[in-house]
Amino acid sequence: MCLGIPGRIVAVTDAARQMAMAEVSGVRREVNVACVASAPLEDLVGKWALIHVGFAMALIDEDEAAATLDALRELGEAQEALEAMAAGDAALGERA
């Protein structure tokens, strides 16, 4: 929950709400980009960000993203983050 995970911003999905699609270890997830926003928001596309609980919190370069992802995998935290994302998706479906 505290470590976050690197993801690559692939598209702006809702500029008014500052939402963008990020790709995290092959999984796509809509994230909030308010904390790293630049004008125009489209400039973020293609960049890497450290994503904490659905919010892009810092822009990082590609090498840093790769090194961070490696460290997270070794700690088992990358898997944990991906499982949490899947749990979040499941929760939206539950009893709905």
Partner 1 sequence: MRYMEEFRDPKPAKAVLAKIAAVVDEIGATAEKPLHIMEICGGHTHAIFRYGLDKLTHPGIEFIHGPGCPVCVLPRARVDECIAIAERPEVIFTTFGDAMRVPGTQKSLIQAKAEGADIRMVYSPLDALELARRNPEREVVFFGLGFETTTPSTALSIQAAAREGLANFSVFCNHITVPPPIRALLSDPDMVLDGFVGPGHVSMVIGIHPYDFIAEDFGKPIVVAGFEPLDLLQSVLMVVEQIRDGRAEVENQYARVVPEHGNPVSIAAIADVYEMRPSFEWRGLGEIDESGLRIRAAYRGYDAEAKFGIGYGAAARVVEEPEGCACGQVMTGRLKPTGCPHFGKGCTPGMPLGALMVSSEGACAAYYQYGGARAAAE
Binding residues (CB under 8 A) for partner 1: these are 1-4, 17, 29-32, 34-37, 50, 52-55, 57-58, 60-61, 64, 67-68, 70-71, 74-77, 80-81, 83-85, 87-89, 91-92, 94-96
Q: How far is the CB of 41 from partner 1 (least distance, A)?
A: 13
What sign for the dihedral angle of Cα 66, 33, 13, 42?
negative
Q: How far is the CB of 96 from partner 1 (least distance, A)?
A: 6
Q: Which secondary structure element, helix H or strand E, spans residue 62, and what is its range? A: helix 62-75
Q: Please state, in angstroms and rounded to a whole number, the distance separating the CA atoms of residues 89 and 48.
A: 23
